[in-house]
Structure 1
Amino acid sequence: MGMKQAIKKLDAFPRAEEHLLQKTQSGALVSIIGLVTMATLFYHELAYYLTTYTVHQMSVDLKRGETLPIHVNITFPSLPCDVLSVDAIDMSGKHEVDLDTNIWKLRLNSYGHITGTEYLSDLVEKEHEAHNHDHDKDHHDDSHAKQHTHGFDDAAETMVKKVKQALANGEGCRVYGVLDVQRVAGNFHISVHGLNIFVAQMIFDGAKHVNVSHIIHDLSFGPKYPGIHNPLDGTARILHETSGTFKYYIKVVPTEYRYISKEVLSTNQFSVTEYFSPMTDFDRTWPAVYFLYDLSPITVTIKEERRSFLHFITRLCAVLGGTFALAGMLDRWMCRLLEALTKPNPRSILR
């Protein structure tokens, strides 16, 4: 018997006497409030447990021999597609003029609506053909010889008229696509550099009239991952009474995003500094939009992780237990308050 009594003393949940187990309306109200509170907190804790969080780590970039994809989507509202070209130069000495692989351009009317599409290489190919044709052709007189020396023939004159008409109509151009460049420092720029200089002079009557106003819809160095922010997205630079060269100095940071499913996404994030150089009367260059990029030697690894189940159980017990204890205290306070209000006054009884 002594052993049983000792074990009973260890019971942390003693049974209350029957007269203390009274059901009241105030107790019911507190119970409903407590149940609703516990259900709400349980849902919050469950959502918190199921939601992943990210951990950032840094290490030395060991990648070699890979290409760097550059996603471009830029609108030039004041320049027709026939005069725009995309050129790329890198530190390895590779220089590509008017890239045409996976690069497209959309003709836009004065309202910004799409009116046609074509490859960016069309203009330069026509220019090269016209230039070669000039050198192969017989020169009959001195005037024709001068025209062919300058690379200006009937085809070029037709193009000049076409572009001037497009400028008069307020045509613009959207350049979009993917540039696959070497994984070294370099730059790519969008300008009228693909034009023969004499053709460009005929079209614009000087570099100051080349309006390189632009809107960057998307510029990224690889696929997007959750939470990424590309600082140039949505950037608009509009020129009104001047012209010049825009330069964006970009620091590219190699990034790996590891999903909770163990899938790995290789991409890049970047920071940028902007600089604008207005045209002067002594400049011999043509306005352009330059994107000069350099790669960081550090790789950032972003991992998705989920909180441990034991952490979830610990928080759940604390929340539910605390709510139950608080509801019990509130019930006792309400019972005592009601008893104090309903208890008869001794003085009124004596009278």
Structure 2
Amino acid sequence: MFKQLDFYSKHVDDDSQRVRTSTGALISVISIITCLTLVIVEFTNWVKGEVRNELTVDTSTETEMTVFFDIVFPRLECRFLAVDLTDQGGKHLHNIWQNIEKTDLELDGSVMQSGALKEKYSLNDIIKNEKDLSSEQQKALKKLEKCLPCFEATSEQDVCCNTCGDLIAAFQKTKMDFIRVLRYPQCKNLDWSNLFVHKDRGGCRVKGSINAGRVEGRLSLSLIRPFRVNATGPSGLIDFLSENLNMTHTINHFSFGKDHPALKHPLKGHTTYQPYPGFFNYIVKIVPTTYISSLSNVDTYQYSVTRYSRRFSNDETHSPGVYIYYEFTPQRIILRQSRASFLHFLVRLCAVVGGVFSVAAALDNILYTIHLTTLSKTDPLHI
């Protein structure tokens, strides 16, 4: 039965019979599989086409681009992170929240039940779940009907700030840094250890997009302003940060402009393990790129990156965090995708199929001839 698959039947001496062999059937099956594989490969290559690279001077007049990012800090809470953007075009954006999604994570990386946080954290959120006054103190104040002042947060006499939460809310209304409340008795139970991040707490996923100018600039994900050195002074902060701040992070995605299947993102999946505070700098060189195909033209950006980091020290003037510095090259890469005509594809297909079957037929003929020669030497009467 298997011999019936032999496409290369052989003639006997008088050409009145055709012989099918098991070897011929095996070669026929192999040739069919080979043909199908090569046909699929040829069709795939024809659909993809050929991409040609061109290098030219960038003459684009665009003034803005979009930066997309998705970064996970597994041991740094969202309430302590701020997204900032500055560039040489004069743009200075601090604690950006528009189009930014912050998601609180558990220690195992799962999303907290609170879900995604799409707005700025208020100062009340910063001390949420922290004890400001004992229940006995609250009862004593209520019994005495005592009204504690709000200090420089307000000049109104009839406003009381009996708890640390009240005092922080008052400072929030006046746009003052809440770190000042540590001076006053209502917040005497608060200190760095219960305000700041600890290693046994959860993490944060920061995902979003920002419109930036097409000039040299810097995107940073660092500590919010109340915990920056230039806002609080380095006194007592260095040792605390060294013990409690874990800056380990993973960059799930980072790109500029429109996406394209041919784009490669060097920072995708990059993880930096740093269980201490420091500056994690990424120097990004952006190359404007145009993809031209028969269906569409896409203007986007490729980039290369260099990484380095250093520890937080006493003489720093900036906050620990992730800093991405980017600048543009004056060249533009043009990638043109071209495809051969369908007639050309058919010619190549016929050549592939014909070549496979021709080689298979020749191989089968050689093997059959060897078989007859061997058989004639061992059993001449059989021939």
- Give TM class, smaller chain: 0.7 to 0.9
CA contact (8 A) 1:90 1:185 kept: yes
- The alignment yields a C-alpha RMSD, in angstroms, of 4.2
Q: Which residue of the partner structure matches residue 60 of structure 2?
A: 63
- Distance change (3 Å), C-alpha of 1:59 and 1:278: same
The count of aligned residue pairs is 321
Cα-to-partner distance string for 1:274-309 (whole Å, 9 max, x where unaligned)? 121212233343312111000122222223332333
Partner of 2:147: none
Structure 2 residue aligned with 1:32, among 23, 28, 38? 28
Q: How does 1:43-122 map to 2 (within 5 A)?
A: 43-115=40-112, 116=114, 117-122=116-121
Residue in structure 1 matched with residue 148 of structure 2 by the alignment: none
| Equivalent of 1:323 in 336, 349, 356 | 356
Question: How far, CA to CA, are the matches of 1:97 and 1:173 in structure 2?
Answer: 19
C-alpha distance in 1 between matches for 2:103 and 2:288: 31
Structure 1 position 70, deviation (Å): 0.8
Moved more, 282-291 or 85-94: 282-291
TM-score by length of 2: 0.69
Q: Give the CA deviation at 1:341.
A: 4.4
Which one of the candidate residues 228, 240, 248 is aligned to 2:282?
A: 248
Structure 2: how far apart are the matches of 1:178 and 1:159? 39
Percent of aligned positions with the same letter in both sequences?
25
Alpha-carbon distance in 1 for matches of 2:215, 2:91: 11
CA 1:38–1:234 in structure 2 vs 1: closer, same or farther (change >3 Å)?
closer
Superposed, 1:1-351 pairs within 5 Å as 19-20=14-15, 22-26=17-21, 29=25, 32-33=28-29, 36=32, 37-115=34-112, 116=114, 117-123=116-122, 134=152, 136-137=154-155, 152-153=180-181, 157=187, 164=194, 167-168=197-198, 170-195=201-226, 205-208=236-239, 209=241, 210-240=245-275, 242-260=276-294, 262-343=295-376
SS in 1 for 2:285: strand
- The one-character-per-residue Cα deviations of 1:179-223 (angstroms, maximum 9, x if unpaired) are 111111110111124226599759x95145143322211111123
Structure 1: how far apart are the matches of 2:123 and 2:53? Answer: 45
CA apart distance, 1:111: 2.5
CA distance in 2, matches of 1:323, 1:107: 60
Task: Confirm or deny: 8 A CA contact 2:287 2:332 kept in the other structure.
Answer: yes
Q: 2 CA distance for matches of 1:96 and 1:102?
A: 13
Are residues 64 and 159 of structure 1, via their aligned partners in 2, closer, same or farther at CA, if it must alter by over 3 Å? farther
Deviations 1:76-119 (A, max 9, x none): 22322222111111001221111122112112232222223323
**Equivalent position amino acid for 2:197 in 1:** L
Is the Cα–Cα contact under 8 Å of residues 191 and 288 in structure 1 kept in the other structure? Answer: yes
Q: Deviations over 1:207-244 (max 9, x none)?
A: 4514332221111112321132211111222223x421
Aligned partners of 1:278 and 1:90: how far apart in 2?
A: 25
Q: Distance in 2 between matches of 1:23 and 1:222?
A: 67
TM-score by length of 1: 0.74
Structure 2 unaligned segments of length 5 or more: list them: 1-10, 127-150, 159-166
- Deviation of residue 346 (structure 1)? 11
Structure 1 SS opposite 2:225: coil
**d(CA) in 1 for partners of 2:367, 2:327:** 69
Cα separation, 1, equivalents of 2:343 and 2:380: 60
1:137 partner amino acid: S
Contact residue 290 and residue 332 of structure 2 kept, 8 A: yes
SS in structure 1 of the partner of residue 308 of structure 2: strand
**Gapped runs of 5+ residues in structure 1?**
1-15, 128-132
* Change beyond 3 A, Cα 1:136–1:319: same
Q: Which moved more, 1:30-39 or 1:114-123?
A: 30-39
Distance (Å, rounded) in 2 between the aligned partners of 1:285 and 1:292:
15
The 3 A distance-change label for structure 1 pair 264 and 164 is: farther
- Counterpart contact for 2:218–2:325, Cα < 8 Å: yes
Go from structure 1 to structure 2 and tell me whether the alpha carbon gap of 1:61 and 1:171 turns closer, same or farther (over 3 Å shift): same
8 Å CA contact 1:86–1:190 kept in 2: the answer is yes
